[in-house]
Amino acid sequence: MFLDQIRKYNPDLLSVALEFHQSKIIPPSCFVIDLDSVAENTKALVQASNENDLSLYFITKQVGFNPIFAKEVCKHGISKAVAVDWNEALSLLRNKIPLGHIGHLVQIPDCFLEKMLHAAPEVITVFSIEKARQLSQVALKENLQVNILLRVVDKDDFIYSGQTGGIALSELERSLEVLNTLANLKIAGVTAFPCTIFDPLKNKFIPTKNMHTLNKAAEIITKHYAKEHLQINAPGNSCCDTFPIIRRYGATHAEPGNALTGTTPLHAMCNQPEKPALIHVTEISHEYKNTYYCYGGGLYRRSTVTKALVGKDPNALIEAKVLSPEKTSIDYYVGLKMGAKGKANIGDSVLWSSRAQLFVTRSSVAVVRDIRKGKPKLVGIYNPFGQKIDF
């Protein structure tokens, strides 16, 4: 999906990934992060957010909760992270990354409530009065104050399968009557997901109906509960291109993730301020009935890998068609079809790039710095949960 963009805008990343794999510095089924490009992408996002009067939290799930990545983003201007589930939150806390937002896509389980409250995030999202009541009870017991965001949904809002939930807009006023009585809680704002989606027919990002729901919810809260400025958190494809869109609809916060590695759907189509900073490298394992098979582990259900480059020499790489396993199967291996005259060898490197969600894969993550200086240095190799591994 992003291979052509890497060849255009970051060819050195491709060469380094190939060299490190062939030199046995990194294993197959490994995502390579260009830390220099991540730094530049962060700067671009910070500048664009300032121009649009937006505050940012950053996401690490796409790169496997990687602590080196997170610290680089903090260093260059986005000071706090968002944890979409408790595993990401625990990894961020373990690596002393400041937390801005917890609980949006995945609610905090009961057993982690006390720990997460003591982590003092700026906001915690709740999907229901029941979860807010649990937070209140723990906050009261621990003598803590909690700022909550309400995830609000309306009929016909766009919600991905597996992410369903929230307070119905039609029930919001009645819910506020209860929420307003809960001790040690303050309603800090509203959120939804996704607030923009990519329209392939128009080749651009467009706002979802969720954005309108957030505005209506904020109006209701301001009228009946809070007179002060509310956080309107509008994540979903957060990048330099979408910042003006969500700002026009009243957003105050965004949450870049894929933009930090230049891998939103728009980045696959055209040049953007954020440059590609992530590539996957694996290895030919065997050949069977005129199909080559490379080591898998790096795909997830929404991966859209269609082609790869195969070989050992960066100047003689051969393009191959990627035959992803069926969605019902585990990607132990990934098939490759070479062209009529194409031939691969066992041990050849296989390179591709796609939208990544490393925390749901089995791949390792190699962080490399100083690629732009021509002196690439491996910072470390990590598992999909941000823990350093030996290799």
We find that the CATH architecture of domain 3-33+272-373 is Beta Barrel (2.40)
Q: Which of 377, 380, 237, 351 is nearest to 1 (CA)?
A: 351
Looking at the chain, the domain(s) classified CATH 3.20.20.10 span 79-255
Between 35-51 and 67-75, two packed helices, what is the crossing angle to 10 degrees?
40
Q: Which of 104, 101, 97 is nearest to 73 (CA)?
A: 97
Count CA within 13 A, CB hemisphere, residue 1.
19
For 114-139, what is each residue's pLDDT tens digit? 999 999 999 999 999 999 999 999 99
Count CA within 13 A, CB hemisphere, residue 98.
13
Task: Give exposure, 285-304, as e/b (b: 16+ Cβ within 10 Å).
Answer: beeeeeebbbbbbbbbeebe
Report the distance separating Cα 211 and Cα 368, nearest Å.
Answer: 37
DSSP category for residue 388: B
Report the distance separating Cα 308 and Cα 326, nearest Å.
Answer: 18
Mean pLDDT across the stretch 352-370? 94
For 244-291, what is each residue's pLDDT tens digit? 999 999 999 999 999 999 999 999 999 999 999 999 999 999 999 999
* Contact call for residues 357 and 61 (beta carbons, < 8 A): yes
Mean pLDDT of all residues belonging to the chain = 95
Dig out the tokens for 349 from the structure.
Answer: 């490197």
For 68-112, what is each residue's pLDDT tens digit? 999 999 999 999 999 999 999 999 999 999 999 999 899 999 999
How far is CA 56 from each of CA 47, 82, 127, 268, 284, rounded to the nearest angstrom?
Answer: 11, 9, 22, 23, 40
Computed from CA positions of residues 12, 17, 21, 23, in that sequence, does the dihedral angle turn out positive or negative?
Answer: positive
Residues in the chain: 391
CA angle 302, 308, 313 (to 5 degrees): 150
pLDDT at 341: 77
Characterise 162 by phi-psi region: left (phi > 0), alpha (psi -120 to 50), beta (else). Answer: left
Q: Which of 244, 228, 278, 243 is nearest to 258 (CA)?
A: 278
pLDDT at 228: 72
Residues paired with residue 32 on neighbouring β-strands, in sequence order: 279, 366
Q: Tell whether the model's pLDDT for residue 227 goes beyond 80.
A: no
DSSP-assigned states of every residue in 260-320? GGT-SGGGGTS--SSPP-EEEEEEEEEEETTEEEEE-----TT----EEEEES-TTS-EEE
For 167-188, what is each residue's pLDDT tens digit? 999 999 999 999 999 999 999 9
For 28-80, what is each residue's pLDDT tens digit? 999 999 999 999 999 999 999 999 999 999 999 999 999 999 999 999 999 99
pLDDT at 367: 98
pLDDT at 266: 93
**What is the share, in percent, of the chain residues with pLDDT greater than 90?**
91
CATH for 79-255, among 3.40.50.300, 3.20.20.10, 3.30.70.260, 2.60.60.20? 3.20.20.10
Looking at the chain, the domain(s) classified CATH 2.40.37.30 span 3-33+272-373
Radius of gyration of the chain measured on its C-alpha atoms: 22
Q: Which of 162, 52, 67 is nearest to 106 (CA)?
A: 162
